[in-house]
A and B are shown apart, each in its own frame.
Chain A
Amino acid sequence: MAGVEAHLDLSQTLYEDMRRASLESEWPIVVDAGYYAVFHGMEALNALECRDAYTFADAADILENVLAPRGLGAEFVEDYRYLFYFRRGALYGAHVPSSSQIAEFIRRAERCVESVRRLMQAQGASDVSLEMGA
């Protein structure tokens, strides 16, 4: 089971891969890197509280029942579902996304990554406070 830093590092690397691939019109990389940048951001938040997702179903359950109420919110849940099923259809299935669909995918992935960063910073700040008060 990976720690917070490993998930955050991979999330950041994949986010940069998504941005780079979008400039090179490599849509499969955009989709894969963008989805996993968000997924590993969520796993970093989970690791802060000693949680791990063993499956994508776990990840969705934890998102809806723990992370969303604690700050990621309903819009994040909707975006995550969009990214997850887009990836399945485009990478596993028959679909080939248009440039406007890829642009929408990137917009939602960026919004999710930014939400994770905000919550991570807030969570980190409260952890520091806790340590100082102990």
Chain B
Amino acid sequence: MARREEHLSKANMFWNLAQTKVRNEATPFLCMNLIMYTVGHLIEALLAEHGRHPSSPPRGVPHGDRDVLLRKVLIGNGRLEPEWGDRYSELVARRDTFIDGGTQDRVFVESYMALARPFIVRMQSFQSTPGQS
């Protein structure tokens, strides 16, 4: 399991890559993933401050448990405002790894970035002051 500093380091790496790749109009599927990896690491950095780490179903990914812990630990104790729980759920719901709704395009990526950016900025505000809002 990664520690807070490792999650923050990866969040910064993915966020830099996401912004560059979106600007350079890279493959939308990859841009979407880079944005989600940024969000995931920022949430897990905050959770790590509370000694929590999401689990994953067998052969799966941790999105569902991350959602539960975000709401229970970070929103439940007032660290994050309630609206960010629904924002995370929406980002997970719109991310289509299995391309059920067709392959992502440029318009999708721009709307996905617009949805994620305020949430990322809010979580980045915790980086310099762990344990405080």
Contacts and interface: CB of A to CB of B under 8 A. Distances in A.
B30 A29 contact: yes
Interface residues of A, number: 30
B19 interface: no
A36 to B, nearest CB: 7
B27 A53 contact: no
A84 B27 CA distance: 20
A26 B27 CA distance: 14
Contact of A94 (B3, B14, B29, B57): B3
Interface stretch (A55-63, A65-73, A103-111, A119-127): A55-63
B98 A43 contact: yes
A55 B29 contact: no
State the majority secondary structure of interface residues on A. helix
A6 B103 contact: yes
Among B40, B62, B98, max chain A CB count under 10 A is at: B98
Interface in A4-27: 6-7, 9-10, 13-14, 17, 26
B61 A2 contact: no
Interface string B39-62: 010000000000000001111111
Contacts of A10: 29, 99, 103
A13 B30 CA distance: 10
A18 to B, nearest CB: 10
B35 to A, nearest CB: 12
Nearest to A9: B103
B99 A93 contact: no
Nearest to B3: A94
Interface string A86-114: 00100111100000000000000000000
A6 B29 CA distance: 12
A132 interface: no
A94 B2 contact: yes
Given A28-B37, A57-B60, A92-B61, 5 more contacts: A2-B102, A7-B99, A10-B29, A17-B27, A36-B29
